[in-house]
Amino acid sequence: MYQTFYRDQTQFYVAVDCIIFGFSEGRLSLLLLKRNMEPAKGQWSLPGGFIEAQESAEVAAARVLSTLTGLDEVYMDQLMLFSKIDRDPGERVLSVAFYALINVADSNREQVRLHNAYWRDLDDLPALIFDHPEMVHSALKRLRIEASTKPIGFNLLPERFTVPQLQALYEAIYGISIDKRNFRKKLQSMPFLVKLDEKDKTSSKRGAYLYSFDKERYEKAKLEGIHFAL
């Protein structure tokens, strides 16, 4: 019945592009592909692809990321739609950008390699095609805002992490250095950080205590009007 109402309207190709920030050894990197298809073959780009008929943008983003890089179950947030007329020099294409911050573990490092994808240091990115630089810039801006109000850092670190690791993450996100005593003080005021009895000795002889993030307690604290900011 409705199907005919819109028929005079223009239709558009709509793509998704994924801005995946990775954290490893105190540094942020960005997951990029070396395009092996036209347009822009051989150039660097974000993992991206077209939305299909029966997909929401969110579903498409997950599929595209998984297909192109082998990464599954990455929780991405939508950034926004990019729609400048000439953003794709080939043809008119709109693109929804999604972003996420994940831990670059050995497991996914391999995944990624097998797919012609690479983790490139965020401070030393190659030239990117189209408006991808703008997308990355916006995503980083958004990431910083998110990181200061949501425990985005906790989602991304391995399940058990140390305070120095967490601090390094925040330092990487904001590009600043933080006083470790003050940083710990703030952490102590967060009841959803659970100190474990074990230590991680991979980065020092003494070892650093492992912590875990108690999601339930976090949700509870949030309901009661959380005071979160790192």
Distance from C-alpha of 135 to C-alpha of 66, rounded to nearest angstrom: 20
Phi first, then psi: what are they for 48, rounded to 5°?
-155, 165
Q: Is 51 in the site for its own copies (CB under 8 A)?
A: yes
Residues 185, 190, 193, 196, CA torsion sign: positive
Q: Which stretch binds its own copies (CB under 8 A): 83-91, 151-159, 169-177, 201-209?
A: 83-91
Q: Is 186 in the site for DNA (CB under 7 A)?
A: yes
Q: Which stretch binds DNA (CB under 7 A): 24-32, 53-61, 135-143, 162-170?
A: 162-170
Residue number, 4 or 182, with CB nearest to DNA: 182
Residue number, 9 or 182, with CB nearest to its own copies: 9
Residue number, 13 or 75, with CB nearest to its own copies: 13
Distance from C-alpha of 153 to C-alpha of 170, rounded to nearest angstrom: 8
- Tell me how far, at minimum, the Cβ of 107 lies from DNA, in Å: 23
- Residues in the interface with its own copies (CB under 8 A) total 37
Nearest of 43, 50, 78, 75 to residue 62 by alpha carbon: 75
Q: Which stretch binds its own copies (CB under 8 A): 27-35, 91-99, 203-211, 212-220?
A: 91-99
Phi first, then psi: what are they for 29, rounded to 5°?
-135, 175
Q: Tokens 């929780």 belong to which residue?
A: 75
140 residue type, one letter: L
CB under 5 to 8 A by kind: which of DNA, its own copies, none does 85 bind?
its own copies
